[in-house]
Structure 1
């Protein structure tokens, strides 16, 4: 079988990945036979972790204020210490961009475009940092945001980071309650809020939500308001964004050196029980992972334009912003990707001469089915896709529009490592429906239930050696017990990601979907716990269970099954459920279907059996699952098996 895309020799030789390979041959003793052989290079990067990650640092000229004593100390997965003794700052990489070069371009749904140079960005970051320092923000304090996708969010991240403070944010589509469930865990000193946003032609004034959020964050001492939708605001004792920058004034941009593993940000990912989980990443781990991923795998360099459609709730926002570490230009889009029609994002790609465009399988399929004539997109050289498995139809549509030379690099990684486990690269072919290879430095295998490495057979995604961007900790997990339970409990000593994969004989990887109960709609992890919080209090509902299903065509189906109470009204209750979930959490959490079921299967300890239900809906055999042995409600499981057999 031939690949559907293969790099030509000229493009291969011109890529940064090939230049890095030549550099390794000259400076690290890599065999010259590995030139042009990605799988040999990848194997070397895993077998020689210290040499590889040390080479990434040297090749990309990472500047340490204090030099490390070693690259890695200890290789026990969760206890590995990367670059011990080193100090640096994520924000220091802003100095890599040329003064007059565009750093951040923002385009709104209505077509309004603003552009900010690196000189402006560094100036604004420095001014906000000085304001925050004057407000008492010190190393380790938390600064949080409740913002739409905006330039001010980028400035806020870098300003907080430059002081050694910890950044976190929630998008404004979250309710005040849902945002507080995340940001309230951090006991932040400063809150930065917007006033609203526009989406699909409608205006959403969020002033009331901002005021409610502020009242729920008792630790906040200072609030800054960004006029993202008009200048009126309801948060008392707040300072307007322009006034905060003016108060910070002019001065040099000098980020504070911090330890390699000093917390940079907290990214929240929702689970099936309890509050959303806060994942903490360190400055150094993020820097080296992003230089590797964006610089080598996606061939991104200074002055090149990088656009990934995302929101502040998704890790791809942080990854796109990290394009600034390479001196690239990033494009932020504020609005619905399919409004007013499916050509909208392609118009953005064309207008801003985007070289690397990142999107989702759902967007590619929606565009392909729209029948619209797309703009030329003459500068485009790569399309990247993540969020769910990429079906072959999406690749075929891209080739029909842009010709056989346009690669689509499917990628899978995520919030946990703020990077990629598997992805494409400029020197490796693409087979439709598959991902080209594990990423550099990633020791990836598929394991059977018995813990054996398997090929050409579906198994659990396992990482067997440490990575610098693995979480420093989970927020509030002082003993580390939740961290170990999350990643290392299924197979002690190795990282279990929670995805079903197949590693093929040719080295490609096929992603089949989540192996656990995590909901992952278009790349945004959704906590079933927050759905249950909204639904379980409704008088119409006696019990409920929600699951997420990756569909063969690249879509995602998230049904909510409910056991009705005596107050259930078939005409009214489903709508009430949808409104309750949207108000409590976000529109992203609203199920695709509300389906009445006779009972919800639970374990003997009372836990909802989400994974067995998901497996049944995917066609698994009930008897082979072993789920009947752990429940007192076998008939409930049998109902879901029949529901699947009947075409539900």
Structure 2
């Protein structure tokens, strides 16, 4: 058992001196503790975000107008500015290493800044020949390969709008997304490799393309076999041409990303060029402490916002590592081996991978270059924090972050000025006025409340696609507290500014009036060596108590016998409360998760309450839809 809040890492004087955020404070002439800097950033947002533009010498025209006009949900940032994301991402020494690509089959490619620019210029020219212009949508059904990054940057350079899904998405899930945005060009791969197996996607690509009458062309990035009637990647990039960058208004759409799509039609969330450039410069430089000379690796697919965040490493001059394949092939240590072999200085992944590595007894070696380690996707339990420092690297800065696709960044996270404490996120991020609201809508400190933002950030959506009046956007974030962004997470803000995330507020355990986030439950259950994964569901509704059901997936060779059940019940009673002892503990072969690794707590709850599976969950947005057969409505 690890005590929540135990200090595991303290920044050394050298870390404090060399941190990117320290240099920024010196440039600002604002020395002092982080909490003071955060307070200034949210008290003076116009001055703060202007300083980000100036400090990083952003390529573009800022204009003479106001920094922000209006308030949430209609705030507009830098309304007189023009900017292009790709221009800012492709700056720098042409000989500097920009991209490293690795895959699970052992293939490796690299690109310098100059080589990446040349490829972007070629693909941009090809897109122009296909008739792509400013405002057109370009969709991609691609794995995390260099061609995806190149196609995105070429699209952005034109002022066209990017949107991607990874090839492990089923056709219905992709169709749900891309039919909403009517793309002009579809980039697609004919197949991919995962977990040592090859998957042919030609039929899926055909099904997707057949539903998109807006398509002028499908571009095939080859894996094994060509796609019939498609433009080849080589033909698209056949014309050597220097890249050009069309500067667009600050809020001009850069990309369209989607809510997880576990229920209902996915929300097509649109982010703007300028907001993403400023946010990612701030987050990656000051919170991840990244800059020139760093090697930045985040394990992700093109269907998760972390791919977009990883691409942002180019903005700060880091070398980005793209990885295509399974995190656990040929073994659980696969990503750790890539981190060691490529001299990665900052490695990020989902919390479930860190927990899986811990449970598998992985002891990574060769991480001499590693300074930072990022965790997101779900709360990392205190035991996961402790394992990093005992078995991975004692001097690494672990940064647990929480934010979302909605803003393509973190609201709360780490910073090299503050210590790392088990189970605690060190701070609210610069420029993010995060509060915890009680049931009456009042801010609280030291208590669990709804995570809200009380002032806008530049990377908030500029709109939802096909939502001209903003009704869907308003309903998603502003329906509960007018003018206040409700994110849907439980958070506790500590008196010193640290934060603890307790999971989604719409999947809260409410037992006899005692509300608890699911992360607290998982922390207890998944500490058992016998438990590989778990899901807890409270079926109570409309103020009525329901059943508390615990589903467990066990490690190989383990049985859910009476002794294990008794130990689980006793431990939950002792460490949580008698109200949180499950009414039933049920073994299942797997816990349902989205393609980005999130547990499907809300859809499973709906299934248990009688909603048909097809209406409760989007099977094509899941890693393992077959396991839903093991979750039955409560009689």
Normalised by the length of structure 2, the TM-score is 0.82
State the match for 1:568 in structure 2.
none
Residues 582/507 of structure 1: CA separation in 2 closer, same or farther (3 Å cut): closer
Residues 374/186 of structure 1: CA separation in 2 closer, same or farther (3 Å cut): same
Q: What SS class does the counterpart of residue 109 from structure 2 fall into? A: strand
Give 1:476's match in structure 2, choosing from 448, 457, 466.
466
Measure, in 2, the Cα distance between the counterparts of 1:129 and 1:459: 47
1:633-644 counterparts in 2 under 5 A?
none
Q: What SS class does the counterpart of residue 363 from structure 1 fall into? A: helix
Measure, in 1, the Cα distance between the counterparts of 2:401 and 2:88: 25
**Contact conserved, 1:560 with 1:593, CA < 8 A, in 2?**
no
State the match for 1:587 in structure 2.
623
Structure 2 residue ranges without an equivalent (≥5): 509-516, 520-548, 554-571, 576-596
State the match for 2:45 in structure 1.
49
Q: How many residues align?
A: 551
Give 1:137's match in structure 2, choosing from 132, 140, 145.
132
Moved more, 293-302 or 99-108: 99-108
Task: Give deviations 1:334-367, integer Å, cap 9, x for gaps.
Answer: 1111121111101000111000100122111111
**Contact conserved, 1:107 with 1:113, CA < 8 A, in 2?**
yes
The reply on whether 1:166 has 2:166 as its aligned counterpart is no
State the match for 1:254 in structure 2.
244
Normalised by the length of structure 1, the TM-score is 0.80
| Superposition CA RMSD, Å | 2.9
State the match for 1:213 in structure 2.
208
The reply on whether 1:117 has 2:112 as its aligned counterpart is yes
1:12-51 counterparts in 2 under 5 A?
12-25=16-29, 30=30, 32=31, 34=32, 37-51=33-47
1:183-582 counterparts in 2 under 5 A?
183-227=178-222, 229-230=223-224, 232-236=225-229, 238-246=230-238, 249-271=239-261, 274-516=264-506, 556=599, 558=601, 560=604, 562=607
1:91-102 counterparts in 2 under 5 A?
91-102=86-97
Residues 163/68 of structure 1: CA separation in 2 closer, same or farther (3 Å cut): farther
State the match for 1:7 in structure 2.
11
Residues 564/4 of structure 1: CA separation in 2 closer, same or farther (3 Å cut): closer
Residues 450/157 of structure 1: CA separation in 2 closer, same or farther (3 Å cut): same
Displacement of 1:393: 0.9
Q: What SS class does the counterpart of residue 145 from structure 1 fall into? A: strand
Measure, in 1, the Cα distance between the counterparts of 2:463 and 2:362: 46
State the match for 1:596 in structure 2.
632
Measure, in 2, the Cα distance between the counterparts of 1:420 and 1:220: 34
Residues 268/243 of structure 1: CA separation in 2 closer, same or farther (3 Å cut): same
Measure, in 1, the Cα distance between the counterparts of 2:393 and 2:153: 39
Give 2:57's match in structure 1, choosing from 57, 61, 65.
61
Measure, in 1, the Cα distance between the counterparts of 2:617 and 2:281: 39
**Contact conserved, 1:447 with 1:460, CA < 8 A, in 2?**
yes
Q: What SS class does the counterpart of residue 346 from structure 1 fall into? A: helix
**Contact conserved, 2:62 with 2:80, CA < 8 A, in 1?**
yes
Measure, in 1, the Cα distance between the counterparts of 2:13 and 2:62: 41
**Contact conserved, 1:7 with 1:428, CA < 8 A, in 2?**
yes
Measure, in 2, the Cα distance between the counterparts of 1:106 and 1:462: 38
Displacement of 1:588: 5.2
Measure, in 2, the Cα distance between the counterparts of 1:186 and 1:321: 22
**Contact conserved, 2:259 with 2:267, CA < 8 A, in 1?**
yes
Q: What SS class does the counterpart of residue 96 from structure 1 fall into? A: coil
Task: Give deviations 1:511-564, integer Å, cap 9, x for gaps.
Answer: 00011269x999xxxxxxxxxxxxxxxxxxxxxxxx999999999475846579
Measure, in 2, the Cα distance between the counterparts of 1:306 and 1:154: 15
Q: What SS class does the counterpart of residue 631 from structure 2 fall into? A: strand
Measure, in 2, the Cα distance between the counterparts of 1:59 and 1:464: 26
State the match for 1:106 in structure 2.
101
